[in-house]
Amino acid sequence: MLIIRCHICGVFADETELQPGGEAHIKRYRSQSSTEDFSSYLFDRSNKKGIHFERWRHAYGCGKWFHVARCTETLEVFGSYSAQTLKPPKSILDKIKVIRPDFKGWKNE
């Protein structure tokens, strides 16, 4: 059972306190968008083995959504950050690069 730190209230919460929300930073496509864009928004997820950015909600705590960077293979958690962002903050990416020197960056950016 994972332990994840809530970015909002700071609690190191058990997985049972949290609600998972799948991959983070998925761009929403609206009315009149192309079929390809809309279908990728609805259905395509990277399903990563390795470093992954995902959404969690402190459902049985402060109720807030936040983002988590973690490794889906070793379950190491690199850090939590605000959900009100379009991409992972530099501080998190830098931290991952220190721990995993072969990390290519978010979406190879």
Partner 1 sequence: MSSRLENRGKLLSRQNRLNFSFNGEKLWGYQGDTIASALLANGKTLVGRSFKYHRPRGIVASGVEEPNAIMGVGEGKFFQPNQRATNTLLREGMVINSQNHWPSLNYDIWSILSIFSSFFSAGFYYKIFIKPRFAWKYIYEPFIRLSAGLGKPPRDKDGDKYEQFYTHVDILIVGGGLSGLEIAQRLAVSGNEILLLEQLPYIGGRSIVDQTEIDRMSSQEWVKKVQEVLQKYPNIKMRTHTVVAGIYDHGYAIANESITNYKEGENIPKERLWRIRAKKIITATGAIEKPLVFSGNDIPGVMLASAARDYLSLYGVSVGDRTIIATNNDSAYKSAAMLLEVGLTVSLIIDVRREISGDLPRYIESLGVEIKTGAAISRVIGKKHVEAVEICNQAGEGAILSRVECDAVLMSGGWNPVVNLWSHCGGKLYWDSGKNMFVPNEQKAPIGFDGLQNVFAVGSSNGFLSDELVLRDAEQLAAALEKGTKNKSSRKRKKRVKCIIEAPTVNVVQMPQAAGEKFMQKSFLDFQNDVKVTDIRLAAREGFESVEHTKRYTTLGMATDQGKLSNIIGISILAKNLGKSIPEVGTTTFRPPYIPISLGSIGGAEKGNLFKPIRKTPMDSWHESNGAFWEPVGDWRRPYAYMRSGEDLSEAISREVKNTRMNVGLLDASTLGKILVSGKDSGKFLDLIYTNMMSSLAVGKCRYGLMCNENGFLFDDGVVVRLSENSYLCHTTTGGALNVHSWMEEWHQTEWWSLDVFITDVTEQYSQIAIVGPKARDLITQVSKADLSDQKIPFMTYKSIEVAGITSNIFRISFSGELSYELAVPANMGLKVWKALIEKGKSLNLMPYGTEALHVMRAEKGFIMIGDETDGTVIPQDLNLDWAISKKKKDYLGKRAHERPFFNNKNRKKLVGLITDKPNLVLPDGAQIIASNHEKKIYMPIGHITSTYFSPSLGHSIAMALIEGGLAHLGGRVKISLAENKFAYAKVVNPNFLDSKER
Q: Which of 23, 55, 87, 103 binds partner 1 (CB under 8 A)?
A: 55
> Does the protein bind partner 1 through residue 2 (CB under 8 A)?
yes
Query: CA geometry: angle at 16 spanning 54 and 86, to 5°?
Result: 20
**Could you give the CA distance from residue 43 to residue 45 in angstroms, rounded to a whole number?**
6
Would you count residue 76 as binding partner 1 (CB under 8 A)? yes
Task: Tell whether residue 86 is a contact of partner 1 (CB under 8 A).
Answer: no
Instruction: Report, in Å, the least distance between residue 20 CB and partner 1.
Output: 12
CB of 76 to partner 1, least distance (A): 4
Asked whether the beta carbons of 68 and 80 are under 8 A apart, the reply is yes
Residue whose entry in the numeric block shows the structure tokens 């306190």: 17
The answer to whether residues 41 and 25 touch, using CB atoms and an 8 Å cutoff, is: no
Residues within the interface to partner 1 (CB under 8 A): 1-4, 12, 14-15, 19, 21, 28-33, 38, 41-42, 55, 57, 59, 63-65, 74-77, 83-84, 99
